Amino acid sequence: MSIQALIDMACHLIGEKPPSTYNETAAVLKQIEVLKEDEAKLIQKIIGSRNIVVHGYATISLSLVEKY
């Protein structure tokens, strides 16, 4: 839930035209200079881990979690 709240706040900062995918959110915030490069990368990893859990993959492998 906290990751979803982070995404919702990010989309609110972006404004009227949010990205088409959650994963693009951090890149847009970097582009509009809300986030620095390292912060954007961290947010992308956090969103990736949320996507793994939320989309109900049958099993969550440690290597997949480490990748995102």
Question: Alpha helix (H) ranges present in the chain?
Answer: 2-14, 25-31, 37-54, 62-67
- Where are the domains positioned within the chain? 2-67
pTM (whole model) above 0.85: no
Per-residue pLDDT of the chain (68 residues; tens, 9 = 90+): 888 888 888 888 888 787 888 888 889 999 989 999 999 999 888 888 887 777 765 566 677 777 76
Residue 68 buriedness (CB in 10 A; 0-12 / 13-18 / 19+): middle
CA distance 36 to 46: 15
